[in-house]
Structure formats: structure tokens, C-alpha cells
Amino acid sequence: MPRLLVFQHVAAEPLGTLDPLIRRRGHRIRFVNFEREPDAQPDVDRYRGLIVLGGPMNVADQQARPHLRTELRAIERMLGQGKPVLGICLGAQLLAHALGAPVRRHEVPEIGWYRLRATEAGRTDPVLAPLGEEAPVFQWHGQHFEIPRSAVHLARSETCEQQAFRWGANAYGFQFHLEMDQPLIERWLATPGYRAELERHEGLHDEAAIRAHTREHIAAMQERADAVFNNFLDLVGRPQRRIALPSREFG
């Protein structure tokens, strides 16, 4: 049974809708929550794939948060072994950094709903193609990655050119949050640190507008997200199904 390793940074940023999807497919999940276990040293060799989630910290915080160095080493080892890696938001920034690309502060944070536009490569990408040529996606980031030199640029938005990339055949970085559902968005809007970020940019990002756009776009995004995530999980491998043997009658 394929085993997936998941790096989580804060309780408010879980796998979201990706969690039940992984479990329905029969994969086993091993979480490493660096908020609870900052000194964890996971053995990545035991796993078939890696998902690195988001968080409010930044790649540049490595001195204050040494676990980020642990994560970078784990990502590099996974890539060296040719195993699938998916980075979401901070996770994508860590993946890009591991591949030699800079991560920088974004001029104006993207918070809320933004229209994602696929590049020519993104429209036919084996994982990202279900998003189509354009799709509204949920965002919450104040940093952005540059596209690694050896990677393929897959998507952009009007306010952030670098939204998604693929490195090799099975390593992906997504700046956006396809894993969101309405309750998780409400949770972020109620989390003090996230609310403080909204207040710092009052006038640029409106809480009421985020809620209205969520009601409008969440169902379509979730449908596309399931297709995207299923494509990524296909790279990890499908769990072997037990074959039911015919029952025998004894008499």
C-alpha cells in the first residue's frame, strides 16, 4: 500500500479536501507536524511520495525555524529518488528553493479569489490540465517563488506571474490553495494571525468579498481540484486491491 509523507506547519493549514481523497484511494498518510515536533527527522526513504503544506512562516526563516532546513533536505532526497513531490504555497516555495530558485516578498499579498491562467504547457500538463485555460482559485500568500531554471512554468495570475511549475515528471509547486473548502476558509478568516494580515492590508482585501466569492466559486474549484489531485496521486501509484477469493462450501 503506497505510503504518503505529509509535512504540516500549523493546525490551521491541513490537507483539507485532499485528506479524504487520499484516504478514499487507500493510501496511508504519515503526518509530520513541525509545529508540534520541530526537531522531527523523518526518514523519507520509507515513503512513496511527499506533500508539503502551507504555513505563515517563510523560507528565509530557517535560522529561527531549523525544521525548514530539515524539510529542504527531505525534498532534495525525494527528488533525488525520483519520487512524487507536491508543494502547496509555502511548500511550493520550499520546493522552488530546493531547486535553486529565489523566494521573494510579493509586492501586494494575494488574499482571496484570483483567476488562474494556464500557460501553454499548463493546459496540457498531465496533472494540472483539469483546471482548464482559466479558473478561479483561492490564494493566501505574501511571498512568491521564481520558476526554477530547470522547471516548466504552468500557470500565472494577473498579480503574480509565478503560480505553478513542474520539475521533471512528478514534482509540482502550486502557489494557490486547491485544497480549500468553505469551512476551512472560514477558519482562516477567524484565525487571529490571518485576520491581522487582512487588517494590515485593509482596503485591498475585503472579508465580505472573500465570503461572497467563496460561495460563488468553491464548488467548481473543488471539482477541478479533485481531478488535479487524483492525477498527482496517480504518480504515487494506486494501492493494490485485494482479490476476493470465491467462498467454498463444505459438506
Does the structural domain 3-236 have CATH classification 3.40.50.880? Answer: yes
The C-alpha atoms of residue 10 and residue 163 are separated, in whole angstroms, by 22
* Per-residue pLDDT tens over the stretch 112-132: 999 999 999 999 999 999 999
Give strand pairing partners of 6.
Answer: 31, 51
Taking 3-state DSSP, the helix, strand and coil percentages for the chain, each rounded to the nearest 5, stand at 35, 25, 40
Q: How far is residue 69 CA from its own chain's centroid?
A: 19
Nine-digit cell string for 38? 520541530
Q: Report the C-alpha gap between 238 and 122 in whole angstroms.
A: 24
Using CA atoms in the order 44, 45, 47, 51, what is the torsion angle rounded to 10 degrees? Answer: 30
Taking the domains of the chain in order of start, what are their residue ranges?
3-236
Mean pLDDT within 212-240: 92
**Cβ pair 51, 4 in contact under 8 A:** yes
Length of the chain: 251
Q: How far apart are CA 219 and CA 28, in angstroms?
A: 27
Average confidence (pLDDT) over 213-240:
92
Query: CA distances (Å), 13 to each of 28, 80, 180, 191, 225, in order?
Result: 19, 27, 9, 11, 17
pTM, whole model, 2 decimals? 0.93
pLDDT at res. 243? 35
Phi and psi dihedrals of 90, rounded to 5?
-55, -40
How high does pLDDT run on average in the chain?
92
Taking 80 as the threshold, does the pLDDT of residue 196 lie above it?
Answer: yes
C-alpha cell of 20? 479524504
Type of residue numbered 68: L
Report pLDDT digits (tens) over 1-21: 579 999 999 999 999 999 999
Rounded CA separation 28/1 (Å) = 7
Q: What is the pLDDT of residue 242?
A: 36
**Amino acid letter, 125:** D
Secondary structure (3-state) at 50:
strand
